[in-house]
């Protein structure tokens, strides 16, 4: 059974970090309701959900993906690029300890989990404002013994690599070609987002279905035309904090 680690929305969520979009007012109650529905969707798809309590003093902490990279062999605790987010990793380390040996990215390197795309034994890391080449070097050292190769990917105009590309299945990626160099993913089958939906490249495949935002109906239609089962979720309030569907859980297979 898949385990999904989630964390409730902080009451200070409207103080979140914003990098690539304009700040707009966030209704914390609506965000909490949307997150609850997201958690219920994970459960409906067969995940055992470990729900962590909210962190009052950590506004962005609902986005647990940024705190760790979970692999079959180990879990790598990240070192988030925003200083306000660095304390988020400690409670995640405690949550992951029963399931994985814990490794850590050490200072001064920084990396957000949202910049890390794992495709088999290949790991791609977005070179964003939050993640750097020093982290790539540490990941190659720490994870190379398990057969992983880590490579940096240049980004344009987006927060994280997973804003631009995410895994649909083992052979297929959902992609916004405008935000990074597609040559990095030669050999994979690519599904392009609809040009009118630039933020549509983030999806979360779970047990034969894809958790996907209701905000992108044209890209949804494309995915469905390829035979994928979509589980729609309304996450527009979470998106005001530059969050997406992969951001709100850590999946432990």
Looking at the annotation, which residues are catalytic?
Answer: 160, 247
Run of H or E residues at 17? none
- Phi first, then psi: give them for residue 7, nearest 5 degrees: -140, 135
- Phi first, then psi: give them for residue 129, nearest 5 degrees: -70, -10
Q: Are 174 and 10 in contact (CB under 8 A)?
A: no
Q: CB neighbours (10 Å) of residue 56?
A: 10
Per-residue tokens: 203: 């999806």
Q: Are 38 and 235 in contact (CB under 8 A)?
A: yes
Secondary structure (3-state) at 132: coil
| Dihedral sign of CA atoms 238, 244, 113, 207 in order | positive
Cα gap 135→143, rounded to integer Å: 12
Q: From edge to edge, which strands make up the β-sheet containing 48-52?
A: 48-52, 3-7, 250-252
């Amino acid at each position: 059974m898949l385990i999904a680690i989630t964390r409730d929305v902080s009451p200070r969520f409207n103080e979140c970090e914003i990098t690539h979009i304009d700040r707009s007012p966030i209704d914390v109650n609506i965000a909490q309701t949307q997150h609850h529905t997201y958690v219920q969707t994970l459960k409906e798809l067969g995940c055992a959900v470990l729900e962590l309590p909210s962190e009052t003093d950590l506004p962005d902490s609902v986005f647990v993906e940024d705190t760790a990279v979970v692999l079959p062999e180990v879990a790598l605790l990240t070192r988030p690029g925003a200083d306000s987010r660095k304390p988020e990793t400690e409670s995640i380390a405690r949550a992951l300890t029963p399931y994985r040996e814990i490794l850590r990215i050490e200072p001064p390197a920084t990396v957000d989990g949202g910049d890390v795309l794992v495709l088999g034994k290949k790991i791609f890391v977005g070179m964003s404002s939050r993640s750097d080449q020093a982290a790539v070097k540490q990941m190659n050292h720490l994870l190379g013994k398990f057969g992983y190769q880590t490579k940096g990917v240049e980004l344009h105009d987006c927060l994280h690599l997973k804003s631009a590309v995410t895994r649909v299945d083992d052979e297929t990626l959902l992609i916004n070609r405008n935000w990074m160099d597609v040559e990095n993913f030669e050999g994979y089958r690519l599904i392009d987002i609809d040009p009118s939906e630039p933020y549509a490249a983030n999806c979360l495949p779970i047990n034969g279905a894809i958790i996907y935002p209701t905000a992108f109906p044209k890209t949804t239609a494309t995915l469905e035309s390829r035979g994928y089962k979509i589980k729609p979720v309304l996450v527009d309030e979470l998106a005001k904090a530059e969050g997406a569907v992969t951001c709100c859980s850590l999946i432990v297979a």
